[in-house]
Homo-oligomer: A and B are copies of this chain.
Amino acid sequence: MKRIAVFTSGGDAPGMNACIRAVVRTAVYHGIEVYGIMRGYSGMIKGEFVKLDSASVSNTVQRGGTILKSARSQKFMTKEGRQQAYDQLMNNGIEGLIAIGGNGTFTGATLFEQEFGIPTVGAPGTIDNDLFGTDYTIGYDTAVNTALEAIDKIRDTADSHDRCFFIEVMGRDSGYIAIPCAIGGGAEIVMVPETQMSTEAVIDTLREGWKRSKTSFIVIVAEGEVEGNVHEVAKRVKAAIPQLDTRVTIVGHIQRGGSPTAADRLLSSQIGIAAVEGLVNGMRNVMAGIVDKKLVYTPFADTISKKKLINQSFMRMVEILNS
């Protein structure tokens, strides 16, 4: 393999640049040319390719976002779009791809490989940590720390005013972000999709705390929990316990940005190196990940179909720590 290309796709995540840097430097180390594709599949179709060398990625390891930008592409979901993407790659002599993204990205890459034979190795780039095949995804550790810093600040106000804050954090359909935020943020309650906690149960716990003369509370609400959104939950709680001074905060998009943590930079670098070396060694349709400190390559078919379950003991921890 003489020339490869790297791109980022889906929601951006802190550490994507560290991963791009590792991909580029590893290619250079092995004497392989490397291009960056701007805006994911969209740029692949349009031929937005940039030649990258070691200097291109200097001073990027600490940057949030992605220097290659990201976009969603409807067109790549059509045969015609993929044909155009293939032509562009051929015109530029690109023989293999590194895709930094999530399952949507990997689904596209699988189809593309089946149709046109271009091999892709994936890197798990999403703050949500909901990908099978790696203990942690790129950006997850940073997102949790960002959310936790927000919660720390909000607790200052919660304590000062004897308030009950409902704080929504990201995580799509999983509690991966919400649970460490609850444990680390000293929250009394955490609502995550996995446990389907009812608003009634929330009300019971708050009532019981109130009886023990607790006056400030933090309830962490994962965006994918089942009881409707955070505003609805807060409203129903307020209706049930009017003496509570309730407030709602949505941590929001700040969770996707910021300089990556040490753990995210290390993980992104490990995975970036592994992705290139896997691709060069003939792998295709696999995602590089780290499981129990070991490098593993998981077929896209598995990252897409299998579900990574959250550690059940974490739910018990929230209960114990609220004693």
Interface residues of A (CB under 8 A from B): 8, 11-12, 14, 18, 21-22, 25-26, 28-29, 39, 54, 58-59, 61-66, 69-71, 135, 141, 144-146, 148, 150, 152-157, 159-162, 165, 180-181, 183-186, 247, 249-250, 252-254, 256-263, 265-266, 269-270, 273, 292-293, 295, 311, 313, 317, 319-323
Contacts and interface: CB of A to CB of B under 8 A. Distances in A.
A12 B184 contact: no
Contact of A320 (B25, B257, B295): B25
B317 A269 contact: yes
Given A152-B62, A161-B70, A252 B249 contact: yes
A162 B48 CA distance: 15
Top-7 shortest CB links A-B: A153-B257, A184-B265, A65-B156, A156-B257, A64-B156, A292-B292, A12-B160
A63 B59 CA distance: 11
Contacts of A322: 25
Q: Is chain A's binding surface mostly helix, strand, loop or mixed?
A: helix
Given A156-B257, A250-B250, 16 more contacts: A12-B161, A25-B322, A26-B320, A54-B323, A59-B186, A63-B156, A65-B156, A152-B258, A153-B254, A153-B258, A154-B254, A181-B262, A183-B265, A249-B253, A249-B254, A270-B313
